[in-house]
Amino acid sequence: MNSLWDQIGAVSSRLFQNKQFRKLFFAALAVLFILQLYFVREMLAAEVLFGVAFAIVLLLCAMFYVVGAVGERGLDLAEAGVRVAARSARWSLSALEGFSRKQFRHRHSQSAP
């Protein structure tokens, strides 16, 4: 009683003795190998493209974040500047009001003839 491996070996040895079968077999192996190389190459190209796309999205998000953070910091600085300017304007206005209430001449002074 022959085992399954022995039967497979006998059939394959009979098939490989045929020259045309060998040509077709190796041609099919070559086609499968080339298709596998093509598939791997395409998958690597797709991975590179996705990586580039994700890098672009990452850069855009980082730029939006930086612009937003700079804008917030700018608004904080502008608010502080406005407060200083308002305080200075109030002080200047009160000084001007006090100056305008003062008389330019002394009470008992006379004008020159």
pLDDT by residue (tens digit) across 12-29? 888 888 888 888 888 999
Q: What is the pLDDT averaged over residues 81-108?
A: 76
Amino acid at 8: I
Under 8 Å between Cβ of 22 and 16: yes
Q: What is the pLDDT of residue 15?
A: 80
Q: How many residues does the chain have?
A: 113
Write down the domain spans for the chain.
4-100
Longest dimension (CA), the chain: 151
Q: What is the pLDDT of residue 68?
A: 93
Q: What is the pLDDT averaged over residues 53-73?
A: 95
